[in-house]
Amino acid sequence: MLSQILSRLSVQTSAEGFTDLTARINGAIAHSGLSTGLAVITCLHTSCSLTINENADPRVLVDLAAYLRALVPEEGVKPISGRGELRAYRHADEGPDDMPAHIRTALTCTSLNLSFQGGRLLLGIWQAVYLWEHRCAGSSRQLSLHLIGET
């Protein structure tokens, strides 16, 4: 019989960076009693995102963060050609990291659809699911977790 469960996960971030969600999602799947199915994970914010990436070498996450900071600098935007003036972001209602966080979110993912089997996510041996905080200061983040599957 097919069942579905909709719940929320609260995640507290301390600063810009990655929070491994894998164990918490696996715990929610195990608690649901569902064995095989699909997990739809949605970030309910516009300044953080979700990613599946390396869980063995933390330097991968450091390099990812450095790349995205270089791609979307906090100071403003300049033409990709490199010619032209730097233009400060117009939207900075919550500080100088506000608009860069929105752009970084637009370039990444705010939801993931992942299969699970045996009550656990089907991930590669070196993969983990991360919440990627794009703001400098930490925040309380909410995720929607929609589980659809069989017992």
**Band of the pLDDT at 99, cuts 50, 70, 90?**
very high
Give the number of other Cβ atoms within 10 Å of residue 48's Cβ: 24
**Band of the pLDDT at 80, cuts 50, 70, 90?**
confident
pTM assigned to the model? 0.94
Lookup result for tokens 């810009």 = 16
In the prediction, which pLDDT does 138 show? 86
Burial 111-142 (b: 16+ CB within 10 A, else e): ebebebeebebebeeebbbbbbbbbeeebebe
pLDDT tens-place string over residues 115-141:
999 999 999 999 999 999 999 998 999
Calculate Rg over the CA atoms of the chain. Answer: 17
Least Cα distance to 94 among 129, 137, 142 occurs for 137
Homologous superfamily of the 2-150 domain (CATH)? YjbQ-like (2.60.120.460)
Domain ranges of the chain: 2-150
User: CB under 8 Å to 12, separation ≥6 — which residues?
Assistant: 138, 139, 140, 141
Averaged pLDDT, 49-70: 97
